[in-house]
Chain A
Amino acid sequence: MKKIEFTLNGALRQFDIEPDETLIDLLRRIGLTGTKRGCDTGMCGSCAVVMDGRAVNACILFAFQAAGRTIDTIEGVGDFDQPHPLQVAMADAGAVQCGFCTPGIVMTAKALLDEKPDADEEDFRQHLDGNLCRCTGYVKIKEALLSCSANATASGEAS
């Protein structure tokens, strides 16, 4: 085991990690199970977390690569009592069925909106191209995410 530290959901924390431990293994080991393990090859996006402001796949990132960086997971975004507007929008639009892909989608969309609050449909298509959903299709997901854009709010499209 070797010690690293990084900022996790706003708090600087220290962790003992194995050299070959992936970030998703570390997160789930410490109880942050909102980050889902899907394909384990970086192809499905269910494990997406935000590192230094950008969505990354925690299943192929080694935990040591997080040292000194800022990691945000779904647990830092919102919870049942205080959900993030993206989470509310996903629920309201019926964009959640089994929910397995939802944390990854919320994290990826949040990274985009934090960088570009007025993201349009093309932005969402491009940034969410690594998030697979096998339940709902993508129309309701797209509608939910677009409703959170300042662009949609400004043009009166928000629900």
Chain B
Amino acid sequence: MNYVDFKIPTSLAEARAILTELGDQAMPVAGSTLHVFLRDESPKVGVDISRLGLGEIADAGDHYAIGATTTVADLHAFSAPGWVLNRVAEAFVTQPIRNMATVGGSVVRVFPWSDWPIPLLALDAEFVITGDQERVMSAKDFFARQPFHHLQPGDILTSVRVPKMPANAGFGYFKERRTTTDFSRCTVAACVSIEEGTLADARIAIGAAVPMPIRMGAVEEALKGAKPSAAKIETAVLNGLEGVRWKGLHGISDDYARHLTVVRMVDALQAACDEATAQTGEQK
């Protein structure tokens, strides 16, 4: 990055005023772990947004409100009923990076290998953007294009709302990488709930093997109302791939990216079903 100046606001109002004034010249900085991947060499003013009081996780009833500059290390350390993001955090790069990287920074600018959009899509998270007015976006809308394009000058992503997993729900998460620091080749997150032995809800999202993270709507629809069996899951996955554009990263072919993701979709759904079944004490 070509920083020609920096600002260190200490309140949200001050940060918004700075970002509004600077417009496109401003580059918000929190953990700074992704800046090494940015190729923008135009002159920028770094705006440190890590001191705005947005680094806490709050219990907000039916969801957890994660401040946008909460670090991945804090997501990892957090433990509470219906909280599963510690499992995602555990597979996120290395401890120093977990100590620096923030949830906001990890979703505002999506790279092909980004981890966090996938579980947040599967969990139906919402994204709170504070501008002149506060607005809330669904994960599907937020990740429909590069999320930073949703932000006007002066807007800041302030919070991510993650619904609590209900007692009859299960979560499955897989990230394929060769080493701890490696980029993901395929990331899959699944969330299901079981009522009276059938799948009341099934959500699955994939990333890294596709250009932008997506929900797999056809797979979800095929599973809703079904009894959770290995055969049903596999059939739903194999029949629900139409229209997906596969893109292999880091030396793997598009076909192998597809294969890897299909395998891990089945695994993630099965893991989520097993967990939900165990939670409800119901027999498969």
Contacts and interface: CB of A to CB of B under 8 A. Distances in A.
Residue from A42, A56, A68, A130 whose CB has the most chain B CB atoms within 10 Å: A42
Interface of B (DSSP majority class): mixed
Interface in B117-154: none
A61 B32 contact: yes
A129 interface: yes
A62 B95 contact: no
Contacts of A60: 32-33, 35-36, 100
Given A57-B96, A60-B33, 17 more contacts: A19-B6, A20-B2, A43-B94, A43-B181, A45-B94, A55-B95, A55-B99, A56-B99, A60-B35, A62-B3, A62-B35, A64-B6, A108-B95, A108-B96, A129-B94, A130-B95, A130-B97
A14 interface: no
Interface of A: 2, 19-20, 40-43, 45, 48, 51, 54-57, 60-62, 64-65, 67-68, 108, 126-131
A19 B46 contact: yes
A42 B96 contact: yes
Interface of B: 1-6, 8, 29, 32-33, 35-36, 45-46, 48, 50-51, 73, 90, 93-97, 99-100, 180-181
A16 B87 CA distance: 41
A31 B6 CA distance: 24
A55 B32 CA distance: 14
A130 B3 contact: no
Contacts, number: 80
A111 to B, nearest CB: 8
20 contacts: A19-B45, A41-B36, A42-B96, A42-B100, A45-B94, A55-B95, A57-B100, A60-B33, A60-B36, A60-B100, A61-B100, A65-B50, A67-B48, A127-B95, A128-B95, A129-B95, A130-B93, A130-B94, A130-B97, A131-B94
5 smallest CB-CB distances across A and B, nearest first, come from A130-B94, A19-B3, A20-B3, A54-B99, A64-B6
Interface centre among B33, B73, B95 (most CB of A within 10 A): B95
Contacts of A2: 5-6
Contacts of B96: 42, 45, 48, 55-57, 108, 130
A87 B46 CA distance: 37
Contact of B33 (A42, A68, A127): A42
Given A57-B100, A62-B46, A129 B3 contact: no
A60 B101 CA distance: 11
A35 B233 CA distance: 51
B8 A64 contact: yes
B53 to A, nearest CB: 15
